[in-house]
């Protein structure tokens, strides 16, 4: 029975080695295709230079001096472009000295992985290889164990995408961002930082064990200068407005929109003293103070909304109140004038009456 299990395991390791080898061949092919594309670009630049050279020769021979000068300027402009492409092409073609591993190298890598990590999973159906880390605690914050999973058919996507995923098995994500399960992992993608090139080269060269070792070592290290969420803000709250992280004690809750905010993004209602965010506060057109939605009252005249304090002096805004006061004054003046006119008429009548009596 034990021998059978051993044989089965050996068979699986052999099959997995072959799968990995095929995928690494695909990766090499992708790399060579990149070189081919770059070479094609370079060839286009070369043929443009040849074309310009022929034009220049013709122009000089025919004595078209102005035309020759124009072509010379064009060549001068293109030369900078040409040397840039040449330099890039040189760097790219020299960097590709990756020799493909053979079957026994890959097989040895898989055996080494078992020695180093113990818990190595390979699923021949789903075609992925994964290791599980020990529970990780950084600066006193438990982040739980992580599974580093490498789908074998994604190895060839190394140059366009991250081919592996880092999955938190007992996630303790940052309270301000659920997708950040580790200071350097967001949406199951590891930000490799200084390990980026070494990880890529390890995979290109089929050093699968080194590839996983470096990823695990990054997970066990904290770089405080460039995390997705800093560990000292791990349990903090993210301001809904500006996105900065604040301690729970220093966060402000807006009861209007039911969200948390930092000090800079909050104010208070000058009418009821309730904490409100800047988005939920409205400036009273009369006094200019910020008030919450429930403390706003509509002006019965123009419909504009004003705070309770300003509405206490009648349910009119200052503008409508001024107009109303002006109208009242006009009415009063009218009444006064009418009274005056009446009095004048009465005086005139009484004077006339007196004069008539004398006569």
According to the binding rule CB under 8 A, does residue 208 interact with other proteins?
Answer: no
According to the binding rule CB under 8 A, does residue 165 interact with other proteins?
Answer: no
- Near other proteins by CB under 8 A: residue from 19, 209, 251, 290: 209
First and final C-alpha spacing in the chain: 153
DSSP string computed for 76-128: HHHHHHHHHHHHHHHHHHHH--PPPP-HHHHHHHHHHHHHHHS-EEEETTTTE
According to the binding rule CB under 8 A, does residue 168 interact with other proteins?
Answer: no
- Near other proteins by CB under 8 A: residue from 17, 132, 133, 213: 213
Q: How far is CA 121 from CA 109, 124, 148, 182, in A?
A: 14, 10, 10, 22
According to the binding rule CB under 8 A, does residue 177 interact with other proteins?
Answer: no
- Near other proteins by CB under 8 A: residue from 67, 144, 171, 195: 195
According to the binding rule CB under 8 A, does residue 173 interact with other proteins?
Answer: no
Cβ atoms within 10 Å of 63's Cβ, excluding its own: 8
According to the binding rule CB under 8 A, does residue 61 interact with other proteins?
Answer: no
According to the binding rule CB under 8 A, does residue 138 interact with other proteins?
Answer: no
According to the binding rule CB under 8 A, does residue 183 interact with other proteins?
Answer: yes
According to the binding rule CB under 8 A, does residue 192 interact with other proteins?
Answer: yes
- Near other proteins by CB under 8 A: residue from 33, 83, 226, 294: 226
Q: Taking the CA atoms of the chain, what radius of gyration do you get in angstroms?
A: 41
Stretch that binds other proteins, among 142-150, 189-197, 260-268, 279-287 (CB under 8 A): 189-197
Name which of 28, 189, 218, 198 is nearest 20 in CA terms. 28
Interface positions, 228-287, toward other proteins (CB under 8 A): 228
Instruction: Give yes or no for a contact between 120 and 213, defined as CB atoms under 8 angstroms apart.
Output: no
According to the binding rule CB under 8 A, does residue 111 interact with other proteins?
Answer: yes
Cβ atoms within 10 Å of 21's Cβ, excluding its own: 18
According to the binding rule CB under 8 A, does residue 155 interact with other proteins?
Answer: no
The least distance separating other proteins from the CB of residue 212, rounded to whole angstroms, comes to 11
Instruction: Give yes or no for a contact between 277 and 265, defined as CB atoms under 8 angstroms apart.
Output: yes
CA 181/CA 249 separation, integer angstroms: 23
* Pairing mode, strands 290-291 and 259-261: unpaired
The least distance separating other proteins from the CB of residue 13, rounded to whole angstroms, comes to 15
Which positions touch other proteins (CB under 8 A)?
Answer: 108, 111-112, 115, 183-184, 190-195, 197-199, 201-202, 205, 207, 209-210, 213-214, 217-221, 223, 225-228
């Amino acid at each position: 029975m034990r021998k059978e299990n051993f044989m089965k395991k050996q068979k699986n390791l052999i099959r997995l080695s072959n799968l990995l080898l095929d995928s690494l061949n695909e990766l090499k092919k992708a790399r060579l295709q990149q070189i081919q594309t770059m070479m094609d670009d370079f060839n286009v630049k070369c043929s443009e230079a040849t074309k310009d050279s022929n034009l220049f020769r013709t122009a000089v021979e025919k004595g078209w001096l102005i035309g020759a000068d124009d072509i010379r300027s064009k060549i001068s402009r293109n030369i900078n472009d040409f040397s840039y492409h040449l330099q890039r092409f040189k760097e790219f073609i020299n960097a590709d000295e990756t020799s493909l591993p053979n079957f026994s190298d890959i097989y040895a890598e898989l055996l080494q992985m078992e020695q180093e990590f113990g818990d190595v999973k390979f699923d021949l159906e789903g075609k992925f290889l994964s290791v599980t880390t020990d529970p990780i605690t950084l600066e006193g914050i438990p982040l739980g164990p992580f599974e580093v999973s490498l789908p074998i058919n994604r190895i060839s996507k190394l140059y366009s995408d991250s081919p592996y995923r880092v999955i938190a098995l007992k996630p303790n994500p940052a309270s301000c961002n659920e997708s950040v399960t580790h200071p350097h992992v967001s949406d199951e993608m590891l930000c490799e930082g200084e390990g980026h090139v070494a990880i890529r080269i390890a995979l290109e060269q089929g050093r699968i064990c080194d590839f996983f070792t470096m990823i695990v070592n990054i997970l066990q290290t904290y770089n405080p200068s460039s995390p997705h969420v800093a560990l000292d803000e791990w349990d903090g709250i993210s301001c809904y407005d500006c996105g900065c992280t604040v301690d729970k004690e220093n966060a402000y809750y807006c009861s209007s929109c039911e969200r948390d905010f930092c000090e800079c993004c909050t104010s208070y209602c000058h009418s009821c003293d309730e904490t409100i965010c800047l988005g939920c506060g409205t400036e009273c057109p009369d006094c200019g103070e910020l008030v919450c939605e429930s403390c706003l009252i509509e002006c019965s005249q123009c419909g504009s909304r004003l705070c309770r304090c300003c509405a206490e002096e009648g349910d009119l805004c200052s503008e409508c109140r001024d107009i109303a006061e002006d109208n009242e004054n006009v009415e009063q003046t009218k009444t006064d004038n009418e009274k005056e006119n009446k009095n004048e008429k009465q005086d005139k009548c009484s004077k006339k009456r007196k004069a008539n009596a004398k006569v």
